[in-house]
Chain A
Amino acid sequence: MAYGKREVLTGVDLRISAGETVALLGPNGAGKTTTIEIMQGFRRRSAGDVTVLGTDPEKGDETWRGRLGTVLQSWRDHPRWEVGTLLSQIAAHYPSPWDSDELLAALGLTAQAKVKIGMLSGGQRRRLDVALGIVGRPELLFLDEPTTGFDPEARREFHELIRGLDTTILLTTHDLAEAERLADRIAVLIDGRIAVYGTPEELARAVQAPSVVSWQDGSTETHDPSQLAWELHQKYGGPVPALEIRRPTLEESYLSLIERSVA
């Protein structure tokens, strides 16, 4: 995908199975939003093949569109409408939508049902975006940084809500804990290419970020903690006092992947 002469997406090879939740990670400007916009048919790709729910997004009709749900990165539409009015108006376009009141309750917006959308706080506005994105019971849900501005409690409730959905999800986020908690598989997009794609464990293995091994008399980073542990056992001739092996977190794997690709 190129914007004019600038190529932004050069190697996005991504297959998402039904029912799966995939997190798309990547630094600012990597092309995550562009990827999602292409999959929704909002942006014409300059090259490549895309199939979403069996259809080329550029040829998707309204029935196809009705099977998708969308929470785009930033919305500030309909500021003069009331929360409840807009939600039920949008819901009415889908064949079997959620009940608006139930959905507002699920997202903690019941008290805001009669509030003008322009008056909502940032996090409330974001929750409404999520409500509008899922109100049609989509088969495939795009979430572009859905929890920006959520307080910790709202974030947890949102995670529970998302995990309770029987839907295929493509999610972008800069919150790695969120990716780890929600995603079955994680794709990391760097400079327009999918650098790795797999479960968090596969990612850690592929990246080979160092584990931290510490014991009573020292601590070190190693790519092969089991080898080091074995050597330590031999050195101590038995149990190693206060031995601790810490595998890299997703965040560490991710950051070392980014660092390496920048270098």
Chain B
Amino acid sequence: MSGIMRLGPRRGIAEFGTMVRDRKELYNSILGSAGIYALLAVWLRDRKVAGTDVDLSTYMMAGMMALVVFQIGLMNLPMMIAADREEGALLRLRTVPGGIGSFLIGRAVSITLAATLQIALILAIGLAVGGASLPASPGHWLTLAWVLPLGMLAVVPLGAALGALLPNPRTAGAVLGLPVMGLLIISGAMFPVTAMPEAVRWVAQAFPLYWQGHGIRAALLSDSTLAAEIGGTWRLAESAGILALWLVAGMVLAPRLLRRATRGAAGTRSPVGS
């Protein structure tokens, strides 16, 4: 066990190294979102969020940070796992003692590193161009410190299960791309959810992306943006509750989905690729 606790992180760091060294992967899944945010931040520099004195670019920074976590968990992770399965990395690790454990921990470490790097980049751009400022008090820092990891945990089990279910990374991208885009638009990541019709607001509030973004805004933005939040207050308890609910649902569902994906292993090509 202690072996896996050492090997998993080592694998994750090596894996992160291959992501950073791979140009395409680097642009697509690490620098891409930061680049888009930089463009938006410059373009929208002096626009305010309606009814507040907060820069739209500052508001968007929080949304982009939420999006990064959501997208890594529910889009990049499933695509990576589907690719690992299709290429046979999972099968390879099944031939190795403790291999599956080190694979899972490795993936967790590498996507956490990728998310951390992206968030740091977006924050840096927000500070440099977007007119944003760091959390105002230790309490605000604390909010950021729980809301980011909780938001990640809320989507990772589900993302891993989706990756195991979808046949290959292309299908995964096609199946997940649209819903993720849709949620991005309705979840208040780019502009206040209060601009949306009532029904859409309810849909948005069912998903972790909205609550992750709300929590990050509570940590990073001043109370003058409250006019743009539903109910005009920070609802941190609800944020924590709904993210935790997603985490629990993911933990319950993921093993079932995984079992379904591997059912009937006798008599079919091994579910972990061949």
Contacts and interface: CB of A to CB of B under 8 A. Distances in A.
A43 B98 contact: no
A204 to B, nearest CB: 35
Interface string A112-148: 0000000000000000000010001000000000000
A89 interface: yes
B22 A80 contact: yes
Contacts of A75: 88, 92
Contacts of A65: 95-97
B270 A43 contact: yes
A66 B96 CA distance: 6
Q: Is the interface of B mostly helix, strand, loop or mixed?
A: helix
B84 to A, nearest CB: 8
B143 to A, nearest CB: 36
Given A4-B267, A43-B266, A45-B266, A80 B96 contact: no
A93 B102 contact: yes
Contacts of B98: 62, 93
Interface in B251-274: 265-268, 270, 274
A2 B96 CA distance: 27
A226 B99 CA distance: 58
Contacts of A2: 267
B18 A77 contact: no
Interface in B174-228: none
B14 interface: yes
A209 interface: no
A130 to B, nearest CB: 13
Contact of B97 (A3, A4, A62, A76): A62
B168 to A, nearest CB: 13
* Chain A residues touching B, majority SS: loop
Contacts of A44: 265-266
Interface string B47-80: 0000000000000000000000000000000000
A253 interface: no
B154 to A, nearest CB: 28
A142 B97 CA distance: 15
B9 to A, nearest CB: 12
Interface string B78-92: 000000100111011
Interface in A32-62: 37, 40, 42-46, 62
Contact of A78 (B7, B92, B96): B92
A79 B87 contact: yes
B140 interface: no
26 contacts: A4-B267, A42-B91, A42-B270, A45-B266, A46-B266, A62-B97, A63-B97, A74-B274, A75-B88, A76-B87, A77-B88, A77-B89, A77-B92, A78-B87, A78-B92, A80-B18, A80-B19, A81-B14, A81-B18, A85-B17, A85-B18, A89-B10, A89-B14, A90-B96, A90-B99, A93-B3
Given A40-B95, A81-B18, A90-B96, 5 more contacts: A77-B88, A78-B89, A80-B25, A85-B14, A90-B92
Interface of A: 2-4, 37, 40, 42-46, 62-63, 65-66, 68, 70, 72, 74-82, 85, 89-90, 92-94, 132, 136
* List of 7 A-B pairs having minimum Cβ-Cβ separation, nearest first: A44-B266, A66-B97, A77-B88, A77-B89, A62-B97, A70-B95, A80-B18
